Chains A and B, each alone.
Chain A
Amino acid sequence: MLTLSKAEKTKNTKTIRQMLDYNSLSVKSKHNLLRTAAAIGIGLSVALVLILLTAKNPGQAVKYFLAAPFMSKAYFSHLIEVIIPLLFTGSAVCIMFSANQFNLGLEGSFYLGGLIAAVSGIYLVTDVPFISPLVGILLGGIVGAIITMIPALLQYKWNANVLVSSLMMNYICLYVGLFLLFHYFKDPASSQHSYPIGDAAALTSFFKGTKIHSGIIIAALVTVFSYLLLYRTKTGYSLRATGQNPIFAKYSGLNVGALAVFSQIIGGFIGGMGGAVQMLGLYERFQWVDLTNFGWDGVTIAIFAKNNPKYLPLATLFIAYFRTGAWVMSFKAGVQIDLVSVFEGIMVLFLLAERFLAGTYKKMVFEDADRKRKEREALENNMDKEGAQA
């Protein structure tokens, strides 16, 4: 038997440990990757089967669905346009869901945020560059925050189910918004458009001929802010602790109720900002006569990003990519854009399925353990040999 110095021994055990840690980590993440890939694969196959079964020219339809963003500058710019609002509502839902608050009032926040930003651009600060959009976006944020705050407070104060009351809020927001539009802001010359928003209030376009606007910078900042808030501050840690185990959080001395309300106010603020940015970036007049669905999209995005804003860029890119494809396919190949919702819904289900491919996970763990044992034995043998030689 060899005699190793103490330093050498610790060094060896360290390398073995590191190797084990590294490998055990990789089984879990490998399995996660496999699950994600399987979820995407299932969603994609369902979408493709539906296209192949129904499209008049399936080959062309599939081509557009899978590769449209690379086919023209206009399509690529559409992809970026789609990403912007998704980053906002995605961030908002990440924050609220991290605190385990199922507030679904973002639809209303987004809608009224857009309306108030338009109003600000029409009446309040119409012609000061930089200040006009800033005021619009801040007002949008404030209104958005109020919309999600109401259900949050109702829950905090009287334990009224936040899920249900926030759903009702969405409809109230829509109809109040429509009332304001049709009774105060509508241009008499138009059937459903408001008076024009001041030019200076609009977010500037970056590239001639595309609609990519400076809102993307704000969206990026908001995403970074959400990440820092959730993962780099004490408040964020408390929020996540509240979300994961409210009882534990309570007994650790956290003010669980206040944190829950706080998360929803921030979420609503971001959602309202998103509506404002969308309005000032893409429209010359307010013209939304229905909820935009970006609030629900936020939930989808947050699920793809596992409630971590760090993954939002990837998640929004992924969703926006196929939405652009479906959009192009709808007018080029006559397959309804709604197909993409089916695709997303199926992926959401399988991404979330904790027990999906559980059997495979077990197998992977066993295989991994087996391999590790062999490696360790080999390593020890080698060391023995080296020791013997020395």
Chain B
Amino acid sequence: MTGFWENLAGIFTNANFYFAVIRVTAPILFATLGCAIAEKAGSTNMGMEGIMLVSAFTGVIASAFSGSVWVGLIAALIAGVLMGLVVAYFALKLKVDIILVGIAVNLIGTGLTGFLIYVFTGDRSTTTSLQSGMLPQLNIPGLQDIPVLGSILSGHNILTYLSYIMVAIMAFLMYKTCLGLRIRAVGENPDAAASVGVGVNKTKTIALAISGLMGGFAGAFMSMAYLSYFAKGITAGRGYIALAACAMGSANPLGSMLTSILFGFFYALSTYARTLNIPDQLVTTLPYLATLVGLVIYSIKVRQNELKKLNTKE
């Protein structure tokens, strides 16, 4: 077993590992933030997976046909927002259970992208034949020259940096703006919010649109930063993981970031752990298992806090 611990130590002392953690966390972080703002408004955005797929695909197509990766990014974001609005329309206007809307949106997203890959490329599973661009990487001057830290923190994709900056932006939006207050009010108690003149459906729609925007970023990251093409099922359940990370992070931005990093950590570990002589497949379960365990611990904590509150009240 000494080999195991040595190898594990080898992974943890490898700067590339931490670089990978930061990188694989980014799309999940975007998606988790998206789920979080929807959740804060009292709507579970189950359709995140479908939104990401549609955005990732739209981005690649727009980038390939316009020749500009930025056009691709903007198209992905627009697609994300539109999908968010579709969720809002069916859930709020036509009164469909929002979880079932999400499931349907995932179904449509998976189907539509799978169908259109073939239409656009003649290939059945990827868009590698299209010349779509990749978003640029940033080498941060000054930072990149610092020995270890530089190789961990510098040279990431521009969207990776944005995902972490987005945590602060979302925190500001949720806790320091009028819109954020409305969103939280609508989520906590829609009737009370309505009674003081907050448009419940309007606020929820805005939250879902922002959620879709985050899904757009996450999708764009998958097909224009993580990979340079779109493949069938490229998101590989990240939309669902985001839901879990959001639940575990109690739907606030900082918590979302921590749980996303937790997932990213185990995900990166699973790609590195081939050297540990543990079977691949078992290592791959790690991120999901960690999320499940984390969720349970979080739930127990919440329950304890509730009990404490009750006790102090008495």
Contacts and interface: CB of A to CB of B under 8 A. Distances in A.
Partners in one complex: yes
Interface of A: 50, 54, 102, 154, 158-161, 163-165, 167-169, 171-172, 175-176, 178-179, 182-183, 296, 299-300, 303, 334-336, 338-346, 348-349, 352-356
Given A161-B247, A168-B288, A175-B284, A344 B94 contact: no
Majority secondary structure, B binding face: helix
A353 B115 contact: no
5 contacts: A159-B303, A164-B240, A167-B244, A178-B281, A338-B110
B114 A336 contact: yes
B243 A163 contact: yes
Nearest to B295: A160
Given A338-B114, A341-B111, A355-B93, 17 more contacts: A102-B99, A154-B299, A158-B299, A159-B302, A163-B44, A165-B244, A171-B237, A171-B288, A172-B289, A175-B284, A303-B100, A334-B118, A336-B124, A339-B115, A349-B96, A353-B96, A354-B96
A109 B242 CA distance: 22
B103 interface: yes
Contacts of A178: 281
B291 interface: yes
A169 B296 CA distance: 13
Contacts of A338: 110-115
Contacts, number: 145
A201 B72 CA distance: 53
Contacts of B285: 171-172, 175-176, 179
B107 interface: yes
Contacts of A164: 240, 243-244, 247, 295
Majority secondary structure, A binding face: helix
A341 B244 contact: no
B112 A342 contact: yes
Interface of B: 44, 46, 90, 93-97, 99-101, 103-108, 110-115, 117-119, 124, 237, 240-241, 243-244, 247, 279-282, 284-285, 288-289, 291-292, 295-296, 298-300, 302-303
Contacts of A336: 114-115, 117-119, 124
Contacts of B105: 345
A343 B46 CA distance: 19
A182 B281 CA distance: 9
Given A167-B244, A171-B237, A341-B114, A296 B288 contact: no
